[in-house]
Structure 1
Amino acid sequence: MNATARPPAVLFMGDLVIVARQTRLIAEAHRRGFAPLLVVTPYTDPARLAELRADPEHPLSKLADVVEVEDAKVDFVVPGIQPWLRRYDVQAVLCVGDFFVEPVGVVADCLGVPGAGSAASRISRNKMLQRTALPDFSPAFQVVTPADRTSPIAPDMTFPVVVKPVARFSSLGVRQVHKAEDLPGVLATYPEDETVLVESRVVGPEFSVEALTQNGEVLWSGVTAKRTNESGGIFFTEMGHTSPAELSDADERALVEANAKVLRRLGFRDGISHAEFRLSADGPVMMEIATRLPGDGITFLWELATGEPLEPVMLDLALGEPTAYPAPRRRACQVYLDHPFGPLRDVTSTGAPVSWVTRDDSWPAFTPQAPDAPAKDHAVLVTVVEGEVLGPQTDSEARSASVVFDLPLDEATEPLAKLYADTVTITVDTP
């Protein structure tokens, strides 16, 4: 390399809470000889990040540089990375988490490197745009702006309905409304400047489809079953994931084909995507799509199921390298646990070790088992900190702990879910 050559780099965008989960991306980029660069927002504590970078045992010590931008928006990110573009040869851009989906797509296009594409990235961050672009994959819906909240709902809308903020994530603000007379009161609870969707409630089990796409062609797809707490109230918090889902070949094919059509319609080019569907009596209905890696522990579920990690393949896609990912050989599950209400004192387990992933900014390593190995509980993951007040699990951020296990493909998950959940005790302080 001559003195004026810029070192090759991979640009990551994501805040610490998610980046700490996917540190293998940082380590893999460094292993391949790239300088890992990270863009964060003020949601990341700079002192804590500096502490982790100074720890040679932590994967974030491999970061070459970090920049904080005011907000995860194009108008803040693009100016913030200009010094890096002069110093480094940025050959790949990856999104780690929800916030940076749109700027990652735009920056990749600006640099001429593989990516989801600006349009697909923009649409995937806004449920209103998704409904507008994909009406034939959507439930009946109505856009309600702040000025429309006292207007009547369209006559083709049937109750119950689901109210969704157009630009939030992690089930934040999603509410079920059973009667028309209750809708105005629910709409009045949203901020004065927030636009929401009112959608007819789709009946049927929920799934996500994770897909790996290169040059517009889907290389691999996997269907994950979801369990929510919707039957017990008005919320839709995800309380469990099973990868691959236990469903018929015909249903799996219908979900995979619907997802492929959605990706083609959006012009999605390169990377990993995560779409959520309801499987109704009439076929798959899309709830939303995100041009990013899946949340919670789903990447680790697929690692346990296939025997191979996803992060190296994600980096291949971002670099435009030929790649592949195997079919599942086992089934893996993450089950979120019910908890008592009050300030959290402790989480203990008589089975798998407990990892305080939010407190320690570190996730455990998962070791895939042989296809026919007995079922195994791998970890108890605590996503809150001591003293945090536990209450109703109204959205993903209100959950506290989960257990991850895997099993042979021909065994049932439900008995094991209860067995492993019963090994965990969540203790709170009582008045």
Structure 2
Amino acid sequence: MNGRRTLLIGAGREMCDTALANDMNFLLVETPKRLKPDLLKAVPEALIMDYEDQAALRRLIAPLHAADPFHSVVSLTEPGLQPAAEIAGFLGLSDEARHVVEGTRDKYLMRQRLNAAGVDDLEAIFVRSNSDIIDYLKCNGAPVIVKPVNGQASQGVTKIETREEAGMLDLSGMGGEAIAEPFLTGPEYSVEAFSFSGRHVVIAITQKLLAGIAAENPLVEAGHVMPAPLPTADRQRVCEYIAACLDALGFRDGPSHTEIKLTDRGPRIIETHNRVGGDCIINLLLLSHELDILEYVLKWPLGLAAPLPAPPISQRAAAIKFLLPRPGRVKRIAGQYAARWQPRVADLQIGIIAGDEVAPIRDSFDRPGHVICVGDTPEEAMANCDRALATIQIEIQAS
């Protein structure tokens, strides 16, 4: 086992399996709700607590650090990013993460920092009432996006086109703080990068597929395909823009996941995070580029990995598409086994069974399953997903 010790906050099964496979010395901190019994048995040691209680986290970690010091603190889950940054500063391991998390979790502050650096010029405002949105529409025109300042997984993200919609929007579910900003027009992408002592390497660009009318919230992601089918010139523009954004926000080390739109004015940022992407993007990266980014996440801060000299070259395409059934009670599901054995299906997950109630799809957590496929091209990978999904029959009885 490697002697250098890592504190993993809110790490899932994939992260822990990667740590175990690489003989890492680590302590897992996880909440009772999220820590599954099989994972508890697998990890060398675990601290079960609410890690968002940062005072309690410091109180419990301090004596453990004194007895057997930690050399890095890592989290890849959105609720764990702030606690991980704070505890890394508290232990004297890194102050950089605090600044980065502050400017990425707070989407209004992100806009301010990017605008101050001259990287972007999108004007966002704090929303404290529906009249703020109406005033913003008057000044900037429609449509606009309203979203929680610290949101995730498309929760609460709403496209507003009229003053009537602005007046009727329920702001109570946005955590008390929301922003409004212009709605960007253009295809949407996410960019996975890794920063090596301030040098940013774009590992992969993924094209996003939005749900549209298939979901109650049309902005929820219906799928992703990697690598994105982009012309070389556009890819270069995206890479240069991402590097400028990461510089402006203080990224120097570790992973980043940045969501952008390619507008008629060039790439424009939607949001960014100092973590890898969700929605199984790390699985797509492994399938398409044969690169396990989790190994870099774990090894780089310990000095156990060499920096990537250049972006990895994709060996094939990989895509994920999500199940988007209509709401109601599930009467019957059929065809899932036939779908699993369709050509080039890499993974199939269905999280509902007969008798379950399917909620309206308002955010990423409402999607009840997915299929992942590979292909020689992005188009082929997506077509393979479509063929597998067409095999699955979900009969819904309307509520």
- TM-score grouping bracket, smaller chain normalisation: 0.7 to 0.9
Q: How does 1:16-415 map to 2 (within 5 A)?
A: 19-20=12-13, 22=14, 25-44=15-34, 49-54=36-41, 61-69=42-50, 71-72=51-52, 74-113=54-93, 117-135=97-115, 136-137=119-120, 139-146=122-129, 149=132, 152-153=135-136, 155-186=138-169, 188-191=170-173, 194-230=176-212, 235-321=218-304, 322-324=306-308, 326-344=312-330, 346=333, 348-353=335-340, 376-383=344-351, 387-409=355-377, 412-415=380-383
Query: Do 1:224 and 1:244's aligned partners in 2 also have CA atoms closer than 8 Å?
Result: yes
Letter paired with 2:320: Q
Task: State the Cα distance separating 1:150 from its structure 2 match.
Answer: 8.1
8 A Cα contact 1:38 1:65, kept in partner: yes
SS in 1 for 2:140: coil
1:395 Cα shift? 0.9
Q: Which runs of 5+ in 1 are unaligned?
A: 55-60, 355-373
TM-fit CA distance, 1:66: 2.1
Q: Which moves more between the two structures, 116-125 or 158-167?
A: 116-125
- Contact in 1 for aligned 2:228/2:378 (Cα 8 Å): no
Question: What's the CA shift string for 1:29-56, capped at 9, x where partnerless?
Answer: 3344433212223542x6xx345423xx
SS at match of 2:135: coil
Secondary structure (helix, strand or coil) at the match of 1:156 reads: helix
Deviation, 1:183, is: 0.5
Q: Counting helix residues as a fraction of each chain, which structure ranks higher?
A: 2
Q: Secondary structure at the match of 2:194?
A: strand
Q: Output the CA distance in 1 between the equivalents of 2:64 and 2:355.
A: 40
Shift of 1:132: 1.6
For 1:388-420, what per-residue CA distance to the aligned partner results, in whole angstroms no more than 9, with x for missing partners?
A: 421332110111111100111375444333222
SS in 2 for 1:264: helix
Deviations 1:180-235 (A, max 9, x none): 2320211x442496111111111101100000111111134310000112466653
For the 8 Å contact 2:148–2:175, the answer to whether it is kept is no
Task: Provide the TM-score with structure 2 as the length reference.
Answer: 0.87
Is the 2:190–2:260 contact (alpha carbons within 8 Å) kept by the matching residues of 1?
A: yes
SS in 1 for 2:261: strand
Whether the aligned pair in 2 keeps the contact of 1:113 and 1:318 (CA below 8 Å) is: no
Q: What does the per-residue CA deviation read over 1:101-122, in whole Å, with 9 as the maximum and x for residues that have no partner?
A: 1222233344444686210112
Q: CA deviation at 1:317?
A: 1.9
Q: Rate the CA distance shift 1:173–1:216 in 2: closer, same or farther, 3 A.
A: same
Shift of 1:158: 1.5
Percent same amino acid at aligned positions? 24
The Cα shift of 1:309 comes to 2.0
The residue identity in structure 2 corresponding to 1:376 is: R
Q: TM-score scaled by structure 1?
A: 0.81
Compared with structure 1, are the counterparts of its residues 151 and 377 closer, same or farther at alpha carbon in structure 2 (3 Å cutoff)? closer
Q: CA–CA distance in 2 between the matches of 1:80 and 1:387?
A: 43
What SS does the aligned partner of 2:181 have? strand
Give distance in 2, aligned partners of 1:323 and 1:316.
Answer: 10
Give the alignment's Cα RMSD to 1 decimal.
3.0
Amino acid of the residue matched to residue 210 of structure 2?
A: T
Residue type matched to 1:10 in 2?
T
What letter matches 2:44 in structure 1?
A: L
CA distance in 2, matches of 1:306, 1:193: 38
1:236 Cα deviation after fit: 0.9
Q: Secondary structure at the match of 1:134?
A: helix
Which AA in structure 2 matches 1:13? I
Q: What count of residue pairs does the alignment treat as equivalent?
A: 391
**Residue aligned with 1:79, SS:** helix
Q: How has the CA–CA distance of structure 1 residues 28 and 338 changed in structure 2, closer, same or farther, with 3 Å as cutoff?
A: closer
Q: Which secondary structure state, in structure 1, belongs to the residue aligned with residue 20 of structure 2?
A: helix
* 1:150 to 1:339, Cα distance in 2 relative to 1, 3 A: closer
Aligned partner of 1:359 in structure 2 is none
Please report how far the alpha carbon of residue 299 of structure 1 lies from its aligned counterpart in structure 2 after TM superposition.
0.1
Q: Distance in 2 between matches of 1:304 and 1:113?
A: 33
After TM superposition, the structure 1 = structure 2 runs for residues 413-424 of structure 1, keeping only pairs within 5 Å, are: 413-424=381-392
Whole-angstrom distance in 1 between the partners of 2:356 and 2:388 = 24
